[in-house]
Amino acid sequence: MPIIYHQQSQTFHLYNQSISYLMKILPSHDLGQLYFGKRVHDKEQFDYLLELAPRPMSPCYFQDDLTYAKEHIKQEFPVLFTGDFKQSAIDVEHGDGNHLLEFVYDHHCIFQGKEKLPDLPATYCNNVQDATTLKIYLVDHLLNLELVLSYTIFENLPVIARNSYLKNHGHDPIQLHSLMSLSLDLPDCQYDMIELTGAWSRERHIKSSPLREGMQSIASLRGHSSHHFNPFLALKRPHCDENDGEVIGFSLVYSGNFLMSVDVDTYHVARVQAGIHPATFQYELKHGEAFQSPEALIVYSHHGLNVLSQNFHTLFNDHLIRGHYKGKSRPILINNWEGTYFDFNEQKILDMAKASQELGIELFVLDDGWFGKRNNDHSSLGDWFVNLKKLPHGIGYLSSKIHQMGLQFGLWFESEMISYDSLLYQKHPEWVLQAPQRHVSHGRHQYVLDFSNPDVVNYIEEMMVKIIDESHLDYIKWDMNRSMSEVYSMYQKQGRVYHEYILGVYRLYEHLIQRYPHILFESCASGGGRFDPGMLYYAPQTWTSDDSDAIERLKIQYGTSLVYPISSMGSHVSAIPNHQLKRLTPLSTRANVAYFGTFGYELDVLQLNHDEKEMIKAQISFMKQYRQLLQFGRFYRLLSPFEGNETMWMVVNDQQSLAIIGYYRTLQEVNVGYRRVRLSGLDEQKLYIINQQEYYGDELMNIGLVISDESCGENHSDFGDYRSQLFIIQEKKP
Ligand code: GLA
């Protein structure tokens, strides 16, 4: 049992082979944080870790003990106004408007396995032996509030999953202004904070800066987790690199407004918190009502960032992603968006499908423009019935024709949105999130439906079900193309809207995946505006970015790989000149980047010449041969596009008998020397073959693979920018 409670010292020790988490019930009856990090031996008590020292200006809990101040005792779930002066984990307003709280330990329970979080995405066990859970019940006796802190430690992963829950047993209603999913006091601040930041078409670039005294935070107030800040941060020791050193990753399993912060005090204690953003959140809890926070994850690595990422990948692949496609390689798709935009008709789609099928493609996805009277982005969101002008025989006919070709068929939806120019808006203008007498901001000529209202969600569900049944869909791309502004609901108390909206999205997803377990969902929000663990619980893959340029994708996919599995990254080969940048990249490089993802094409196949078709056929058969390894192998980053002209990464199978390296050179340089790049993840003892040459694993990992201009398979006549090369590493069988 990896959770021990030491009765005498009232100490909890959660541990497995790699990590320990220690906390205790303090003399003031609240919870103190003692340690989180690499596994330590279990023992009865660790009380020497309590910082008991008299200091001027610190309010003390006991009248006669000037050493016991909450300011200096690391808190497990700090509350306001108690003499702890850093960021609090909970904020409740009650009675005459005061915010005073005093949560004391009441009881706890420990059990094998992990509970489901009602209505929220969360990690899960495949069997009860996978994890052990501790729930600690705290009570505010004056208000009769119950606070439950839940901790799950996974048996074979350095992961702790946390959530918090507040229930009002008191007579009077309270206003809940904030309930963080986790709070963790680390005893020093010698860390660099890593974030994944960006904007539309340049999502999840890796940024790192040393912690400083004061508050530092990332957040979204856009109604979705956002292109701008991902709900992830990591604290790494300054010398930690991809292969060595200590790093702690934090991730919030949530798709709406969030706040993740590190509050460093002048004693250099670093308090990390993650949860729903308090600025757009207020819940009144009446007698008997409760609020459940989303789940937050703490993931540890003592062996650098690659292992941290691999731990996240394993956790998400094995304990978050669900359904038919869990652990399964993904169909090679073609999406018509960049090939046609809104300009298509039935014949064009059928011709494209036929040509795609001949290339070996497995799934045809019809993107935006198939419904209502939609010929541009001005109309029809909300009218989820087929556009008979474009598809005169209906969606069922089109789908059956495509199925007859031996292809799967998928459709694009943007279920959460509405156009003013739609039948739905004529019928239900009150379903839009906007205030009647206030200015309305516009975004892509579309507005956000009030998904906090179950009637709206039910109505959209009915329309989607009809289309899905009619067209026997195999795949759905679920898009969301505007950030929310002037959010006001005609249905809901305003402080609840953002969160109830996300719950509405989750509910619709859950209904659809239960009803259609075979459908592959790909989430999307103008590319990667909602690439978060919450979405992965419902949709095993996400359209990584609207930027389909291979060179831009190096940074986007490299950054995304820090947290999210390769199998979750939607990646397509698109046409040149690239539509976002006008850049010209070789077809081989476009595929060499897209292989490290779900893989597909996004271009007009009818425009391809003979040579391109032959190349694409070869690419598709390569992907079919290696996709299980590419999508689910152990992934290592070797050279960073954020640090130089070259990018390199590799995947290795479990047996360490097969690996694939992707090597990419952004600009051609002149007269450069040979470089040696050390590989990772191989077996030192094994003999491997790369391009007919033999190398031992230790050689490749200690001396390195030699990279030269010739590595890109070029002779001097076809030097150039944006070149790349794959290396297949195969164990030599005796
Ligand atoms: C968003 C998506 C694109 C495409 C368009 C359609 O921008 O990210 O992939 O589906 O919408 O309007």
Question: What pLDDT does residue 712 have?
Answer: 67
Atom of ligand 1 nearest to the CA of 525: 8
Q: Per the confidence metrics, is the pTM higher than 0.85?
A: yes
The closest alpha carbon to 361, from 327, 400, 330, belongs to 330
Kindly state the helix (H) or strand (E) to which residue 727 belongs, with its residue range: strand 723-731
- What is d(CA 664, CA 723) in angstroms, rounded to the nearest whole number? 6
Question: What pLDDT does residue 713 have?
Answer: 60
Q: Give 522's strand partners.
A: 477, 541
- What is d(CA 525, CA 479) in angstroms, rounded to the nearest whole number? 5
Question: What pLDDT does residue 81 have?
Answer: 87
Catalytic residue among 367, 421, 479, 604: 479
Question: What pLDDT does residue 539 have?
Answer: 98
End-to-end Cα, the chain, rounded Å: 43
Q: How far is CA 186 from CA 35, 56, 433, 536, 611, in A?
A: 7, 23, 41, 29, 58
Question: What pLDDT does residue 358 have?
Answer: 98
Atom of ligand 1 nearest to the CA of 377: 12
Question: What pLDDT does residue 575 have?
Answer: 98
Q: How far is CA 16 from CA 4, 127, 313, 314, 597, in A?
A: 11, 17, 19, 16, 32
**Ligand 1 site: residues with CB under 6 angstroms?**
337, 367-368, 412, 479, 481, 524, 526-527, 543, 546
Please say if 479 is a catalytic residue.
Answer: yes
Q: Give 334's strand partners.
A: 364, 601
- Assigned superfamily of 3-319: alpha-galactosidase from lactobacil brevis (2.70.98.60)
Which of 546, 548, 601 has the most ligand 1 atoms within 8 A of CB, as the residue to mutate? 546
Question: What pLDDT does residue 718 have?
Answer: 61
Question: What pLDDT does residue 155 have?
Answer: 97
| Nearest protein CA to atom 1 of ligand 1, as residue | 526
The closest alpha carbon to 367, from 479, 264, 468, belongs to 479
Cβ contact 413:384 at 8 Å: yes
Locate CATH 2.70.98.60 in the chain: 3-319
- Assigned superfamily of 646-731: Golgi alpha-mannosidase II (2.60.40.1180)
Task: Give the DSSP per-residue string, 340-383.
Answer: HTT---HHHHHHHHHHHHHHT--EEEE-S-SBTT-SSTTB-TT-
* Three-state SS annotation for 45-101: CCHHHCCCCCCCCCCCCCCCCCCCCCCCCCECCCECCCCCCCCCCEEEEECCCECCC
| Nearest protein CA to atom 7 of ligand 1, as residue | 526
Question: What pLDDT does residue 716 have?
Answer: 54
Output the CA 7–ligand 1 centroid distance in Å.
Answer: 57
Output the CA 526–ligand 1 centroid distance in Å.
Answer: 5
The closest alpha carbon to 251, from 455, 450, 534, belongs to 534
Cβ contact 540:521 at 8 Å: yes
Please say if 241 is a catalytic residue.
Answer: no
Strands (E), 425-546: 447-448, 475-478, 520-523, 541-543
Locate CATH 3.20.20.70 in the chain: 333-631
CATH number (3.40.50.800, 3.30.70.360, 3.30.420.40, 3.20.20.70) of 333-631 reads 3.20.20.70
- What is d(CA 266, CA 56) in angstroms, rounded to the nearest whole number? 14
Q: How far is CA 599 from CA 218, 238, 335, 510, 572, in A?
A: 31, 35, 11, 26, 5
Atom of ligand 1 nearest to the CA of 546: 8
Which of 479, 580, 601, 602 has the most ligand 1 atoms within 8 A of CB, as the residue to mutate? 479
Question: What pLDDT does residue 1 have?
Answer: 61
Which of 526, 553, 556, 571 has the most ligand 1 atoms within 8 A of CB, as the residue to mutate? 526
Sign of the torsion angle spanned by Cα atoms 607, 612, 613, 618 = negative
- What is d(CA 133, CA 649) in angstroms, rounded to the nearest whole number? 36
The two structure tokens encoding residue 658 = 């097969």
- Residues of the chain under the 50 pLDDT cut: none
